[in-house]
């Protein structure tokens, strides 16, 4: 390991990147000393983003895979079937085939799921999704990207870099990557890029060689119990990896990075990989990267907006360097990166306004998305926000007080439950009250239902506006509805 520099970080000239684990044992049945492979894996809730990714990796790795999802269809069903995966959908779950040798479940899979009950009765292993991913990550060099926000974009950027330079990566990302056309792939013999989910602590099970932490902010406290416990989980995630990358601009990630001698990136003067001279245009964002000890900046050009994306890109470039990609090549590989679904995604035009949809559902994410919209030629920003989950709104509703200050007009919907039961006194009105308490003159409307939102936007939008829909729920359907209304009105 290289000597720590005076900032507590480390340079990019560390040990040579670890080669893929040669001769590693195949995915093996738990408890079997003869490493009998899981010849046929059944995946529950297979139509979801996370479970379909595991099914994809297993299928492309050579396992027989089948599964069931209660939804009649999802965007992931057709791609799975194209891989030869036997997918059943609908309310009636078929009996477990005799050939099945293991079952993979998610946190949402109930204990009385028929496949789980059958597997237990047949003494077959029942694995959590994270355990299956842990075995898969043990097969090859793995870069795991974690953080309260930014991990989907950072993972997608890193996968794009590695694919562009020809190292044949695999990836598991929470949204389809337009340039790669998929959200997951086993790939070739290059590194495996994994978006590491901290929500339930399962990211600690991954066999991680390079750990990336984009930021650490209070979230998922219903699982961890306290912010201190969440920080400790991120500390363990970093400590378990051979090489680490953290954002120097984030308070808690930066502190953890100094503790574990990570490579630190960002605009902070102490960063090992520093962002300099950012310039925003209508086409995107450009900036330079200065590596510690090398004064000449390396140019980076992005077709996406916002300083948060400059940081995401720098995290991806830094991780790519640690697995053997030259800095100049990694930076150049981002020239054609065009983003991922629901991350400042252009959704067309309606009534002369530009529609942009973003997954932002935490205060820092919301502020970053609005700041990026503000960069678009100084146009009026009309924002709609859908709070996500009653537990999160109860815990963080007041934290949104100053998140919308750069929006010209704001509407708040009611809470998207995401499967949670309502809580007394918890609604989108908590966010509205927080905004008005901070700024009584703020132009904010409380529109609980999406039909109300569509009507309000129809009456409010003007040519040249940027209409920004923010949230992790079904608000994402609104841009499509607006485009359809606008088309009919012509």
Out of 195, 217, 345, 365, pick the active-site residue: 195
Q: Strand (E) positions, 363-484?
A: 381-385, 409-412, 444-446, 466-470
Q: H-helix or E-strand containing 212? A: strand 210-213
Of 56, 137, 151, 314, catalytic: 151
Alpha helices for 47-198 (secondary structure H) = 49-61, 77-82, 114-121, 129-137, 151-164
Query: What is the per-residue pLDDT for 12?
Result: 63
What pLDDT, on a 0 to 100 scale, did the predictor assign at position 344? 80
pLDDT of residue 31: 37
Evaluated on CA atoms 217, 219, 223, 228, the torsion sign reads: positive
* CB half-sphere exposure, 20, CA atoms < 13 A: 18
CA distance 181 to 314: 23
| Residues 67/43, Cβ–Cβ less than 8 Å | yes
Element (H, E) at 330: helix 327-332
Q: What phi, psi does 88 have (nearest 5°)? A: -105, 140
Q: How far apart are CA 195 and CA 214, in angstroms?
A: 11
Of 303, 37, 257, which is closest to residue 157 (Cα–Cα)? 303
How confident is the model at residue 420, as a pLDDT?
86
Q: Is 151 a catalytic residue?
A: yes
Distance CA 417, CA 386 (A): 10
Q: What integer pLDDT is reported at residue 36 of this predicted model?
A: 52
318 among known catalytic residues: no
What domains are defined for the chain? 40-127 (3.40.50.720), 140-332 (3.40.1190.10), 345-489 (3.90.190.20)
Token pair listed for 470: 């923010």
pLDDT value of position 340: 73
Angle at 129 between CA 178 and CA 22, to 5 degrees: 80
Q: Is 31 exposed, middle or buried (0-12, 13-18, 19+ CB in 10 A)?
A: exposed
* Catalytic-role residue among 44, 152, 208, 354: 152
User: Which positions ≥6 away from 287 have C-beta within 8 Å?
Assistant: 275, 276, 277, 278, 279, 299, 300, 310
Answer left, alpha or beta for residue 139, where phi above 0 means left and psi between -120 and 50 means alpha.
alpha
Residue 199: left (phi > 0), alpha (psi -120 to 50), or beta? alpha
72 given a catalytic annotation: no
Give the 3-state secondary structure of residue 264: strand
pLDDT tens string, the chain, 490 residues long: the values are 233 332 344 556 433 333 333 333 334 333 333 235 578 999 999 998 889 999 999 999 999 999 999 999 888 899 999 999 999 999 999 899 999 999 999 888 989 999 999 999 999 999 999 899 998 998 899 999 999 988 999 999 999 999 999 999 999 998 778 788 888 999 999 999 999 988 888 899 999 999 999 999 888 778 788 989 999 999 999 999 999 999 999 999 999 999 999 999 999 999 999 999 999 887 789 999 999 777 789 999 998 888 989 999 999 999 999 999 999 999 999 998 887 777 788 889 999 999 999 888 889 889 988 988 888 776 899 999 999 999 989 988 999 999 999 999 999 999 999 888 999 999 999 999 999 999 999 999 999 999 999 999 999 999 999 999 999 889 999 999 999 999 887 7
Q: What angle do CA 212, 217, 218 make, to 5 degrees?
A: 135
Whole-model pTM: value is 0.75
- H/E element, 353: strand 353-358
Q: Which two tokens stand for residue 362?
A: 């935490």
């Amino acid at each position: 390991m290289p000597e720590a520099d005076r900032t507590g970080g480390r340079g990019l000239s560390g040990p040579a990147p670890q080669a893929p684990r040669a001769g590693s044992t195949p995915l093996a049945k738990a408890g079997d000393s003869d490493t009998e492979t899981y010849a046929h894996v059944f995946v529950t809730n297979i139509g979801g983003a996370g479970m379909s990714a595991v099914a994809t990796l297993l299928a492309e790795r050579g396992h027989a895979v089948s599964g069931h999802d209660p939804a009649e269809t999802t965007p992931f069903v057709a791609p799975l079937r194209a891989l030869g995966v036997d997918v059943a959908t609908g309310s009636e779950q078929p009996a477990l085939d005799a050939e099945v040798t293991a079952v993979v479940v998610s946190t949402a899979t109930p204990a009385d799921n028929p496949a789980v009950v059958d597997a237990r009765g047949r003494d077959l292993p029942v694995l959590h999704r994270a355990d299956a991913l842990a075995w898969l990550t043990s097969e090859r060099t793995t870069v795991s990207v974690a953080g309260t926000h930014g991990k989907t974009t950072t993972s997608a950027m890193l996968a794009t870099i590695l694919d562009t330079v020809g190292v044949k990566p695999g990836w598991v990302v929470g949204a389809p990557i337009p340039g790669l056309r998929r959200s997951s792939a086993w790939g070739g013999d290059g590194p495996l890029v994994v978006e590491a989910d901290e929500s339930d602590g399962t990211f600690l099970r991954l066999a991680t060689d390079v750990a990336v932490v984009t930021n650490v902010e209070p979230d998922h406290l219903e699982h961890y119990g306290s912010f201190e416990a969440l920080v400790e989980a991120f500390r363990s995630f970093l400590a378990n990896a051979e090489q680490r990358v953290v954002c120097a601009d984030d308070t808690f990630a930066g502190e953890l990075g100094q503790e574990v001698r990570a490579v630190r990136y960002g605009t902070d003067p102490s960063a090992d990989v520093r962002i300099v001279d950012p310039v925003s245009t209508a086409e995107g964002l450009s900036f330079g990267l200065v590596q510690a000890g090398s004064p000449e900046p390396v140019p980076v050009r992005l077709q996406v907006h916002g300083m948060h994306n400059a940081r995401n890109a720098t995290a991806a470039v830094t991780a790519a360097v640690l697995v053997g990609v030259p800095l100049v090549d990694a930076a150049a590989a981002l020239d054609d990166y065009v983003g991922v679904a629901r991350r400042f995604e252009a959704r067309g035009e309606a009534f002369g306004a530009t529609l942009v949809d973003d997954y932002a559902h935490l205060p820092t994410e919301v502020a970053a998305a609005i700041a990026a919209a503000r960069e678009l030629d100084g146009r009026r920003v009309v924002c709609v926000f859908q709070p996500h989950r009653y537990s999160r709104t109860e815990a963080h509703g007041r934290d949104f007080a100053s998140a919308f200050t750069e929006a010209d007009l704001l509407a708040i919907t009611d809470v998207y439950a995401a499967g949670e039961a309502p809580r007394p006194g918890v609604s989108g009105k908590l966010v509205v009250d927080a905004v008005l308490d901070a700024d009584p003159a703020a132009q904010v409307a409380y529109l609980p239902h999406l039909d109300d939102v569509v009507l309000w936007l129809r009456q409010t939008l003007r040519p040249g506006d940027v209409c920004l829909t923010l949230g992790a729920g079904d608000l994402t359907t609104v841009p499509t509805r607006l485009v359809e209304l606008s088309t009919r009105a012509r």
